[in-house]
């Protein structure tokens, strides 16, 4: 599972572990579980549902109004059990914590700095095409930066 969509898939599995739902119900429930910090869109939820279907973790049925209803199956239940064994804590508390961090001033500043850094790195790499003899200097800088980033920022 991709990390970004993987968390949504896991959240959807948890919801379907409680009861079968329509896509819209899933979107509303995700919003509610995040205390309104996350507004689930069809462009996120339906691809996640399709991936879960493709992986055989959920089933799809049509109700009497021909609405698609998603439900977890035994393979999906097994995936939830594996998650429960390897992870500690409440998925919804972890999700809210992530959302709070992603909406914080610090995260937004950090993300903007990373974008600027990536832009400058790409410019430096382009300049090296004309001066490849300076490549080792950039490699050294990046290696030192990588080593600093491996530190624990507590």
Q: What is the pTM of this model?
A: 0.68
pLDDT tier at 82 (50, 70, 90 boundaries)? confident
Give the residue numbers spanning the domain of 7.
3-102
What CATH number is associated with residue 55? Answer: 1.10.10.10
Average predicted confidence (pLDDT) for the chain = 89
Mean pLDDT of 76-104: 85
Looking at 102, 124, 140, the residue that finishes a domain is 102
**How confident is the model at residue 2, as a pLDDT?**
37
Assess whether 82 and 129 both reside in one domain.
Answer: no
For residues 21 and 62, membership in a common domain is answered with yes
Is 90 in the same domain as 114?
no
Whether residues 44 and 96 share a domain: the answer is yes
| pLDDT tens-place string over residues 92-129 | 888 888 889 988 999 999 999 999 999 999 999 999 99
Q: What is the DSSP string of the chain?
A: --HHHHHHHHHHHHHHHH--B-HHHHHHHHHHHTTTS----HHHHHHHHHHHHHTTSEEEEE-TT--EEEEE-HHHHHHHHHHHHH--S-HHHHHHHHHHHHTSHHHHHHHHHHHHHHHHHHHHHHHHTT-GGGHHHHHHHHHHHHHHHTS---
Is residue 60 a part of any domain in this protein?
yes
Q: Same domain for 89 and 17?
A: yes
Check whether residue 8 and residue 43 sit in a common domain: yes
- State percent of the chain over pLDDT 70: 95
Instruction: Give the pLDDT of residue 135.
Output: 95
Residues 91 and 31 in one domain: yes
User: Is 28 a member of any domain?
Assistant: yes
């Amino acid at each position: 599972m991709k990390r970004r969509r993987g968390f949504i898939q896991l959240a959807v599995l948890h919801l379907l572990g409680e009861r079968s739902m329509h896509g819209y119900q899933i979107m509303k429930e995700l919003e509610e579980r995040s205390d309104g910090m996350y507004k689930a869109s069809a462009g996120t939820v339906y691809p996640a549902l399709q991936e879960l279907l493709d992986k055989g973790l959920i089933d799809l049925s049509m109700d009497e109004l021909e609405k698609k209803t998603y439900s977890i199956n035994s393979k999906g239940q097994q995936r939830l059990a594996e998650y429960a064994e390897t992870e500690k804590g409440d998925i919804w508390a972890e999700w809210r914590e992530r959302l709070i961090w992603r909406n914080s001033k610090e995260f937004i500043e950090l993300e903007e700095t990373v974008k600027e850094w990536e832009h400058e790195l790409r410019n430096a790499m382009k300049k090296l095409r004309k001066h490849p003899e300076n490549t080792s200097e950039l490699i050294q800088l990046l290696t030192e930066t990588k080593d600093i980033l491996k530190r624990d920022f507590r």
